[in-house]
């Protein structure tokens, strides 16, 4: 039984129709996504390493990635060893560390080495084993 005093303001008057707009938007999104997948699948790989014997776009023979890596490593090693610098990396680090080992070190690295405590005086030899006393 229904009570005539109950307010049905929130109840829909007619049943909702089919959501054509939502379905159309969903299908459009699906086809756009599938189109992008096909484009990405068929496009050439930009990260692919070129072959060493194939010339590049300028007509010059391409340099292999291993040769480029070796060249970069050699330049970095030369820079670290002091080519064109006043001193090598090892000498500069040793000079800095020698200045920072004291208690007046102001930089947070390396931490000053702890001062070793004076060695304790040797203890007198105590007799080992049974002393003859019984409790």
Domain count, the chain: 1
**Predicted structure pTM score:** 0.30
Within a domain: 91 = yes
- pLDDT (tens digit, 9 = 90+) per residue, 107-125? 666 555 667 777 777 777 6
How far apart CA 65 and CA 46 sit, in angstroms, is 14
- pLDDT (tens digit, 9 = 90+) per residue, 11-54? 666 778 999 999 999 999 999 999 999 999 999 888 876 665 55
Within a domain: 125 = no
pLDDT on residue 47: 81
Within a domain: 51 = no
Which residues form the domain of 97? Answer: 67-103
């Amino acid at each position: 039984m229904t009570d005539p005093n109950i307010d049905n303001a929130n109840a829909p008057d007619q049943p909702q129709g089919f959501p054509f707009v939502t379905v159309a938007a969903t299908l459009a999104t699906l086809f756009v996504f599938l189109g992008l997948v096909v484009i990405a699948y068929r496009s050439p790989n930009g990260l692919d390493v070129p072959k060493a014997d194939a010339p590049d776009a300028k007509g010059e023979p391409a340099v292999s990635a291993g040769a480029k890596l070796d060249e970069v490593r050699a330049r970095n090693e030369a820079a670290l060893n002091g080519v064109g610098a006043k001193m090598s990396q090892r000498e500069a680090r040793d000079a800095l560390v020698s200045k920072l080992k004291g208690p007046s070190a102001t930089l947070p690295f390396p931490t000053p080495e702890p001062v070793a405590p004076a060695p304790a005086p040797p203890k007198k030899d105590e007799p080992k084993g049974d002393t003859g006393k019984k409790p």
